[in-house]
Amino acid sequence: MPINFADQYMMITPFLDPNSENDPIATDSSADRFRRLNCCVIIPTYNNASTIAAVIRDVSKYTKAILVINDGSYDGTAKIASSFPYVRVWGYEKNRGKGWAIRKGFELARESGYDFAITIDSDGQHYARDLSAFLDQLEKEKKAIIIGERDLNQANVPGKSSFGNRFSNFWFKVETGITLEDTQSGYRLYPLLPLEKIRFRSIKYEFEVEVIVRAAWAGVKVYSIPVSVYYPPKEERVSHFRPWKDTIRISFLNSLLVLETFIYVRPLRFFRTIFTPGQGREYIRKHLLQVNQPDHIKAISVGFGFLMGIMPIWGFQLITAIALSILFKLNKALVIVAAHISFAPFIPFIIYLSFKAGSYWVGDKARQVIYNRHMGLSSIRHHFYQYLAGSLTLALLAGISGGIITYLLIKLLKLWPASPNSHTG
């Protein structure tokens, strides 16, 4: 997770060594837990002069291993934070975004010897008493991002926050398969070592979405625990979230992550599982064969995979197939396998058959083609309508015939007598 920070960072106050015997919290039980678990608290902040002192005082009741990242504040936030002798404050002149500040906090925490970090917002929304709940979970699970789930149904919660959160939760499930109720909470515990191996691209609010998606892809467990939250009246609220601008950024990020999910992440995970010794057979038994799944669903899944694999939406065939298989509750694994009928070696053959099938629709305007292995998408350019009509016809025929043949094979295999030496179970 290396970052090229162009700004000059300034250490305003020293940071206590987590292993130092002179740590003033050495006798405190909560602080002992932070020390034993090698965990610190990161507070990213931007122009929170009215709240930062209260947040630091609240956190310091549990630990003095506090790192404040001043994200270009100009209202005295850095001066207030540096007035606490046990807090390490790092800052830079230009505001870069919350994600940038958190990423820098991760880097500095690792340099200081910490393995875990809890991020807490500096606007006073979170209660430090919930730090103990994070540590309780950390003692049980060392490789997990734990998100503090807020109650967004209480009074004073902005409508835009509730809607934006539901929107983010939906796309997170699409991208990872994990259900969370609060993907936008800034109160989190992060395992720092696994994140060092992940490359992140975002630097503003959308980073808090990207980090949990990419971490989940990397095998890091992501789940939530309930935490308390305080939403002051609107006239007292301090927030730098820009509803339109930041929502657009988050939406754009989710669009990219969804594409990456279906084009790269899920297919790669599928084939890795299939070809991993000891896992391939179990995956086939559990997901492809699915003993309890009706035979007609399996047959429809194969036929649908063939249909989508030949459909003239090159580059989007697999992502569309997976999305629709989820919508129609088909066997996703069978759909993915069947959709790969359009793998590179078969593309020239599929294009040739599409032109042949299309010739029946365009009549005298049909182009006569000769099959060769160099035939590609460029061949479509001058006779697009013939190819389009033919590919739709071929896709429909392949889907119907593939489904029927699969259904008959399944029934035939069930009638085939078992080997006397076979074992059931």
- Amino acid, res. 284: I
Count CB-CB contacts under 10 A for residue 216.
19
In terms of Cβ atoms closer than 10 Å to its own Cβ (0-12, 13-18, 19+), residue 77 is buried
What class does CATH assign to 10-263? Answer: alpha beta
Tell me the per-residue pLDDT of 150-190, one tens digit each, with 9 for 90 and over: 987 766 555 555 667 788 888 898 889 899 999 989 999 99
Tokens 């734990």 map to which residue? Answer: 146
Q: Which residues does residue 298 pair with via DSSP β-bridges, in sequence order?
A: none
256 token code pair: 């990219």
Concatenate the DSSP letters of all residues of 220-246 into one string.
Answer: -EEEEEE--B----GGG------HHHH
| Beta strand extents in 177-282 (DSSP E only) | 188-191, 221-226
- The three-state secondary structure class of 299 is helix
The domain spans of the chain are 10-263, 277-415
> pLDDT value at position 210?
95
227 neighbors 186 (Cβ within 8 angstroms): no
CA-to-CA separations, 41 to 34, 85, 118, 243, 376, in angstroms, rounded: 9, 15, 5, 27, 56
Closest CA to 33 of 135, 171, 126: 135
> pLDDT value at position 245?
63
Tell me the per-residue pLDDT of 193-233, one tens digit each, with 9 for 90 and over: 999 999 999 988 889 999 999 999 999 999 999 999 887 66
Q: Is pTM, for the whole model, over 0.85?
A: no
- Which runs of consecutive H residues, i.e. helices, occur in 275-362? 280-283, 295-310, 317-327, 332-339, 347-362
Give dist(CA 298, CA 292) in Å, integer.
Answer: 11
Provide the angle, in degrees to the nearest 10, between the axes of the packed helices 384-415 and 295-310: 160
